[in-house]
Amino acid sequence: MTYTFPHYESKRECIIPDLAAWRQLSKGMTFAEVSDILGGPISDPLRGEIPKQVKDNYFSYGWIDLPYVPHPRTYSFLLGFDSNARLRLIESPFGDAVSDQGTPSKPTLLSPKNGSEFHHYPRIIDTRWMPPAGDYPMRFEIQIGVGNIDGSIYCDETLEEQADGLFFCFNFVGAQPGRVRVRAINGCGTGPWSDFTYFKCLT
């Protein structure tokens, strides 16, 4: 399907294979065995023609095109075959995450790294997370916690502004401990919050 983010002019594509079938794949399968389960690969204009031979090649089965990523195919459903034409690589944007009837799964935060200490001012903090499983498009709620001086108590606030992609930048309030977490919302419902990642601003 193709969808448009409300704050971006360009259309973005989300092509997701049958995930129940995708989970049946295992390394060592032949291309014929993969095709029996999943069907054939798809043509991707950013990857060129579908390879004519299986050995030492990669085949696309979908992708999630999101804002604020280095390349439109950062998050792809990709299968790679070795010199014996056996499946050796299974790459999914969701990792091992599984969605319950399309509802977003629990996000995994990538940054800031838990326990990070920041010495810069202004206190601009970038947070990024892996794409949850579930039906797309999704939007993301961000909750930021401000801690007391020893980090024993936090006051958490869910921001009114939501993110369209897997990234959010915020200005932290003070030289003190903080924490952040996110959750996804789509047409099927609201997913669980990620774990908090904790950080400390020292300036």
Helix (H, G, I), strand (E, B) or coil at 20: helix
Query: pTM of the prediction?
Result: 0.88
Query: ∠ at Cα 67 (17, 145), nearest 5°?
Result: 105
* Listed residues 56, 91, 126: the one ending a domain: 91
| Residue 104 forms part of a structural domain | no
Q: Are residues 80 and 121 in the same domain?
A: no
| Residue 34 forms part of a structural domain | yes
Q: Which of 161, 189, 163 is nearest to 105 (CA)?
A: 189
What pLDDT score was predicted for residue 100? 82
| H or E element that contains 85 | none
- How many domains are contained in the chain? 2
Q: Are residues 37 and 78 in the same domain?
A: yes
| Residue 97 forms part of a structural domain | no
What pLDDT score was predicted for residue 27? 98
On the CB side of 57, CA atoms within 13 Å amount to: 15
Helix (H, G, I), strand (E, B) or coil at 19: helix
Mean pLDDT of residues grouped by 10 in the chain (203 residues)? 52 87 97 97 92 97 92 95 98 92 96 98 97 95 97 97 96 97 97 98 96
Q: Are residues 81 and 115 in the same domain?
A: no
| Residue 96 forms part of a structural domain | no
Q: Are residues 84 and 136 in the same domain?
A: no
Q: Are residues 84 and 138 in the same domain?
A: no
**Single-letter amino acid, residue 23:** R
What pLDDT score was predicted for residue 5? 54
Q: Are residues 119 and 197 in the same domain?
A: yes
Q: Are residues 79 and 130 in the same domain?
A: no
Give the whole-angstrom CA distance, residue 7 versus residue 129: 20
Expressed as residue numbers, the domain containing 31 is: 2-91
Q: Are residues 8 and 56 in the same domain?
A: yes
* Listed residues 58, 91, 124: the one ending a domain: 91
Q: Are residues 130 and 184 in the same domain?
A: yes
Q: Are residues 72 and 122 in the same domain?
A: no
Q: What is the CATH number of the domain that holds 165?
A: 2.60.40.10
Q: Are 77 and 91 within 8 A, CB to CB?
A: yes
- Tokens standing for residue 151: 């980090």
Helix ranges (DSSP H) in 24-111: 31-38
What pLDDT score was predicted for residue 9? 47
Q: Are residues 187 and 116 in the same domain?
A: yes
Give the whole-angstrom CA distance, residue 37 versus residue 198: 42
Q: Are residues 158 and 78 in the same domain?
A: no
- DSSP conformational letter for 50: P
| Residue 47 forms part of a structural domain | yes
**Single-letter amino acid, residue 80:** G
